[in-house]
Chains A and B, each alone.
Chain A
Amino acid sequence: MVFDDINSFFDMGGYGLYVWLSFGSSALCLLVLWLDSFFSKRRLITHVLHEQIRQGRIKAAAEQSATAQQKTHGETI
């Protein structure tokens, strides 16, 4: 270990601000990129599930109106 104690490690020979700024920002950017990709994958999967529910609703409404038509058609005969 080049530094004898923790504070001098953080101090980085006086350049602490710049070193930790660069390491911190790169870690942050990679993290944000990873999270964005991860959550957009989850969003896509939930979107597919919502799509299923929506199709279900459309089919149900279509059947319902079809049966309603048969009923009215049945009465008129």
Chain B
Amino acid sequence: MSVISVANLSVVKRDRLLFENLNFAVEQGSLLYVKGQNGAGKTSMLRVLAGLIEADAGEVYFTLQNIKDCREHYHQHLVYFGHKLGINSSLSAVENLQYWCQQHEVVISVDTIFYTLAQLNLVGLEDIPVANLSAGQQRRVALARFWFKHNAKLWILDEPFTALDTQGIELITKQITTFLSGGGAVVMTSHQALCIDYPTDELTLEYRI
């Protein structure tokens, strides 16, 4: 049963047609890798999938229900990671993640947060304002949310690997593979060549002037 599916989706942005009549479905335990040049509309497509922006035409279905009707249910099972990290720079990493977990109704103890941040080798940087961290470290703080939301069925990642070092990329790919083998669905874009040893279907968006 498809986790997320799209029926003749088309998006126009600043009156430029990005793509039209897009149809695809992502089954449980499968990874969709969206490819395309800069400006091909990858980010807009992911934001439409997440329900952040409305498509000009076409529908997005989560487990065969239109996301407009089941928005709350859909967002309970979704984790989105975009260009904007979603962490406040004057709060500390722990405070940011605690706030995010309370938002997404994830019951979590502070030690699990510290433990996960240690895994992302952010030891000692947990309780200082995030502004003092480097870009890569801030990205890891934002990526820590993928370790918390266990009841998520769908992950949408928009270029998660930028500004990450090899060790960071390794950590994230391992987490993605465990999530996929656990029956989750992932839709992601990336600039680096995808080195996830997992069957992936690819979707290429042509660049239209």
In the complex, the number of residue pairs spanning A and B with C-beta atoms less than 8 Å apart equals: 14
Stretch at the interface among A6-14, A34-42, A53-61: A53-61
Q: Which residues of chain B in 93-139 are interfacial with respect to chain A, using CB atoms and an 8 Å cutoff?
A: 118, 121, 123-125, 128
A45 to B125 Cα, complex, angstroms: 19
Residues on B with beta carbons closer than 8 Å to the beta carbon of A55: 124
Highest count of chain A CB atoms <10 Å: which of B118, B123, B125: B123
Instruction: Name B123's closest neighbour in chain A (CB-CB).
Output: A61
A60 to B123 Cα, complex, angstroms: 9
Residues on A with beta carbons closer than 8 Å to the beta carbon of B123: 57-58, 60-61
What is the interface size of chain B, counting residues whose CB is below 8 A from a CB of the partner? 6
What is the interface size of chain A, counting residues whose CB is below 8 A from a CB of the partner? 7
Interface of B is mostly: loop
A60 to B121 Cα, complex, angstroms: 12
Contact present for A57 and B121 (CB under 8 Å): no
Residues on B with beta carbons closer than 8 Å to the beta carbon of A61: 118, 121, 123-124
A46 within 8 A of B: no
Q: How far is the CB of A28 from chain B (nearest CB, A)?
A: 31
A70 within 8 A of B: no
Q: How far is the CB of B73 from chain A (nearest CB, A)?
A: 40
A65 within 8 A of B: yes
Residues on B with beta carbons closer than 8 Å to the beta carbon of A65: 121
Q: How far is the CB of A73 from chain B (nearest CB, A)?
A: 14
Q: Which residues of chain A in 11-61 are interfacial with respect to chain B, using CB atoms and an 8 Å cutoff?
A: 54-55, 57-58, 60-61
A61 to B128 Cα, complex, angstroms: 17
Contact present for B124 and A54 (CB under 8 Å): yes
Q: How far is the CB of B128 from chain A (nearest CB, A)?
A: 8
Q: How far is the CB of B120 from chain A (nearest CB, A)?
A: 11
A40 to B108 Cα, complex, angstroms: 34
Instruction: Name A61's closest neighbour in chain B (CB-CB).
Output: B123
12 extra interface residue pairs, beta carbon distance < 8 Å, beyond A57-B123, A61-B118: A54-B124, A54-B128, A55-B124, A57-B124, A58-B123, A58-B124, A58-B125, A60-B123, A61-B121, A61-B123, A61-B124, A65-B121
Q: Closest 5 A-B residue pairs measured CB to CB? A: A58-B124, A61-B123, A57-B124, A54-B124, A58-B123
14 A-B pairs in the complex with CB atoms less than 8 angstroms apart: A54-B124, A54-B128, A55-B124, A57-B123, A57-B124, A58-B123, A58-B124, A58-B125, A60-B123, A61-B118, A61-B121, A61-B123, A61-B124, A65-B121
